[in-house]
Amino acid sequence: MKLLSGLLATQACAQYVDENNETLNEAEYGVLDEFQINELLGLGLFEGDIITDEEGTLQKDRNAQMDLSYRWPDRLISIGVEPQVSMNVVGSLHQAIREMEAKSLVSFRAADETIEDWIRIYLGGGCSSSVGRIGGRQSLSLANGCDAMATIMHEFTHALGIKHAQSRPDRDDYVEIMWDNIDPSKYNNFEKASADQWTTFNSPYPYMSVMHYSSGGFAIDKSKPTIVTKDEFYQNLIGQGASYTKADNDLLNNLYSYSDADTDLASCTCSKIEFSGLTYQNARNGVYVKDANGGIVGDRFGYAHETNGNWLYYRRSSYSWWIGGTKGGSSRGVQAPDVAFCPENVEKDWQEYSGEWMTTGSVVSRCVDNVKCCSSINLMHRHSRYPEINGEYIAAGDLHHRTYYIHSSEDYALFFNGESWEISLTARA
C-alpha cells in the first residue's frame, strides 16, 4: 500500500539527536540497533524502547497475551506516516509491512479521518512504541537511524501487543541475567513477567526472536555480556536483528487467532450484578447496574452501585476487576485478578482489602437479571431442633433485592439479610 507521498530525499548517513540537542552521526558510531540508539540518546525508556501513553502512564504491564483487549480488532492495523520520516525509514517500513503480512495473520492499511484507533509514525528521538492498542491515536517513533527492517518489525510487534522475549516467565530456564554487569537503575529492563501475565502457548524458548535482547544489552562493561544463554550455541545469536523467525510468526498467529467475539461487549448480557458476603468491605455489598451510556473503562462496561456511589469496573493496568469509590480509580476495596470481558464470567476469587489483600472465600457475585423466584417454598429440615419452622413459606415481598417468604403459620420469615439466608420471627432489614 502507499503510505506516504512526496518522500524526503534519502540521507547518505543516519543522524540522531541526543538529549543535549547534539547531532550524533552513524559514521562515528556505526550501525546501531534500536536499544543502542535509544541508550546513546539517553531516552531512558522502559526495557529500552517502550514509551508511555499520552497521559504519561507507564505501559510495562501491558501485554495482549494476557488481556485480549490490547489486540487490534479484525487483525487490522491502521497507520499514518508523517512527512518528516526519512525515505530510508519509509522504504524499510514498506518492506517490513510486506514481510509481516506475508508471515502472519495481521494486515495494515492507511489511516484516514474515519478511523478512531491508529498508529502515528513520526520522526522522534529514537526507535520506540507503545505496547498493544491503547485506543485513539498512539505514537511509534522511527528516527533516521531506525531504518533496519528488523528494528521496524520489532517496534510494530510491540504495537501489536507483545513484549520482549526474555520477559517470559520461564526465561531463567534458558538464560542467565548477569546482574553484576547491569547498572541497578537499568534493572527494570530485565523484569520477568509472572506466569499469569504471559502465555507461552507451550512454545520453545525463542532465542532467535526479533523481540529478544542481544547478549550485551545495557552492559556496564561492554566487553562482557548481560545475558548468557544456557545453550552456548545461541550466545552470539540472540538479538539477531534480521527478520521474523518461526517463533515470532507462531506467537503472533496464536495471539491473533482468537475470535473478535471474545472481546465483543455485546456478549455481556447481564445488566445487574449482585455482591454479597463481603466482610471487611461490607459497605460494597449490593447490586451494581451496568452503565451502558456512561463510557467504557478498560474496554469494558462499568457498573454503578444502586445506592451508595461505589463502582464495579475493570482496570487494564492490573488485569483485574475492581470495586471502588471512583470508576476506573485505584482505591483499595475489592478486586478479582481476572481478565473476563464480562463481570458475570469472573472465575477467580474476589479479594478484600483490610491492611492487605485477603481472600475470604465468602464473597459471592451473581447476575440478578430476570431472576425467577418461587411463589412458595416447602422447607423440610429433618435434623432441626425446631421442627415447627418446617412447612410452606409464601412469597410476601422484597428485601435486599430478594423475595422474602412468610411461613403459613405467619410465625416465621425466610429472608436474605444482605449476606446470607435466615429464618427468624420477623424479616429484618
What does the alpha-carbon distance between residue 324 and residue 295 come to, in Å, rounded to a whole number?
17
What does the alpha-carbon distance between residue 166 and residue 227 come to, in Å, rounded to a whole number?
9
Q: For residue 384, what pLDDT is reported?
A: 67
The answer to whether residues 240 and 328 belong to one domain is no
| Residue whose C-alpha cell reads 461505589 in the numeric block | 310
Nearest to 362 by CA among 420, 277, 279, 421: 277
Q: For residue 299, what pLDDT is reported?
A: 76
| Identity of the residue numbered 283 | A
* 8-12, 212-216, 324-328, 375-379: least confident range: 8-12
Task: Report whether 85 contacts 123 (CB < 8 A).
Answer: yes
Banded pLDDT at 20 (limits 50, 70, 90): very low
Residue after which a domain boundary falls, among 318, 342, 367: 367
What CATH number has the domain bearing residue 252?
3.40.390.10
Cell of 22: 547534539
Nearest to 158 by CA among 136, 177, 141, 174: 141
Task: Report whether 334 contacts 354 (CB < 8 A).
Answer: no
Nearest to 198 by CA among 169, 155, 175: 169
What does the alpha-carbon distance between residue 14 and residue 121 come to, in Å, rounded to a whole number?
18
Q: Give strand ranges (E) for 303-401.
A: 303-305, 311-315, 320-324, 334-336, 351-353, 357-358, 364-367, 376-379, 391-399
The answer to whether residues 344 and 240 belong to one domain is no
Inside any domain, residue 12: no
Q: Per DSSP, what are the bridge partners of residue 140?
A: 121, 129
Cell of 354: 483490610
The answer to whether residues 390 and 287 belong to one domain is no
Inside any domain, residue 228: yes
**78-92, 259-273, 398-412, range with greatest mean pLDDT:** 78-92
The reported pTM is 0.61
Cell of 280: 471487611
Residue 358 has pLDDT above 80, yes or no: yes
Residue after which a domain boundary falls, among 216, 237, 258: 258
Task: Report whether 207 contacts 174 (CB < 8 A).
Answer: yes
Cell of 283: 459497605
What does the alpha-carbon distance between residue 217 and residue 19 come to, in Å, rounded to a whole number?
20
The single residue of 39, 47, 155, 352 carrying the catalytic annotation is 155
Inside any domain, residue 155: yes
**36-45, 183-192, 339-348, 419-428, range with greatest mean pLDDT:** 183-192
| DSSP-derived secondary structure letter, 67 | -
Inside any domain, residue 351: yes
Q: Provide the greatest CA pair distance for the chain.
A: 97
Q: For residue 59, what pLDDT is reported?
A: 46
Inside any domain, residue 382: yes
| Identity of the residue numbered 156 | F
**% of the chain exceeding 90 in pLDDT:** 33
What does the alpha-carbon distance between residue 428 and residue 258 come to, in Å, rounded to a whole number?
49
Domain that holds residue 394: 376-428
Nearest to 251 by CA among 128, 62, 102, 103: 103
Q: For residue 373, what pLDDT is reported?
A: 62
Banded pLDDT at 372 (limits 50, 70, 90): low
Q: Per DSSP, what are the bridge partners of residue 219?
A: 182
The answer to whether residues 58 and 171 belong to one domain is yes
The answer to whether residues 210 and 236 belong to one domain is yes
Nearest to 313 by CA among 325, 304, 302: 302
Banded pLDDT at 157 (limits 50, 70, 90): very high
Ramachandran assignment for 201, one of left (phi > 0), alpha (psi -120 to 50 degrees), beta (any other) = left
* 104-108, 150-154, 213-217, 257-261: least confident range: 257-261
Q: Per DSSP, what are the bridge partners of residue 424?
A: 413
- Report the mean per-residue pLDDT for the chain: 80
Banded pLDDT at 91 (limits 50, 70, 90): very high
Q: For residue 268, what pLDDT is reported?
A: 80
How many CB atoms are closer than 10 A to CB 330?
Answer: 12
The answer to whether residues 314 and 390 belong to one domain is no
The answer to whether residues 223 and 285 belong to one domain is no
Q: For residue 429, what pLDDT is reported?
A: 54
Residue 37 has pLDDT above 70, yes or no: no
Question: For 376, phi and psi rounded to 5 degrees?
Answer: -155, 155
Q: How many domains does one find in the chain?
A: 3
What does the alpha-carbon distance between residue 35 and residue 166 come to, in Å, rounded to a whole number?
14
| Residue whose C-alpha cell reads 502457548 in the numeric block | 201
Banded pLDDT at 173 (limits 50, 70, 90): very high
The answer to whether residues 270 and 248 belong to one domain is no
Does 164 count as an annotated binding residue?
Answer: yes
Cell of 426: 420477623
Inside any domain, residue 290: yes
Does 158 count as an annotated binding residue?
Answer: yes
pLDDT in tens, 376-399: 788 877 666 788 888 888 888 878
Q: For residue 328, what pLDDT is reported?
A: 81
Give the 3-state secondary structure of residue 330.
Answer: coil
- Rounded to the nearest angstrom, the gap between the alpha carbon of residue 295 and the centroid of all alpha carbons in its chain is 19
Q: For residue 284, what pLDDT is reported?
A: 93
The answer to whether residues 96 and 224 belong to one domain is yes
Inside any domain, residue 11: no
| Residue whose C-alpha cell reads 449490593 in the numeric block | 286
The answer to whether residues 58 and 204 belong to one domain is yes
**% of the chain exceeding 70 in pLDDT:** 79
Residue after which a domain boundary falls, among 258, 282, 304: 258
Banded pLDDT at 24 (limits 50, 70, 90): very low
The answer to whether residues 223 and 288 belong to one domain is no
The answer to whether residues 146 and 200 belong to one domain is yes
- Rounded to the nearest angstrom, the gap between the alpha carbon of residue 285 and the centroid of all alpha carbons in its chain is 27
Q: Greater confidence, 156 or 373?
A: 156
Q: For residue 338, what pLDDT is reported?
A: 82
pLDDT in tens, 393-420: 888 887 876 788 899 999 999 988 877 7
Inside any domain, residue 10: no
Active site residue 155: yes
Give the 3-state secondary structure of residue 382.
Answer: coil
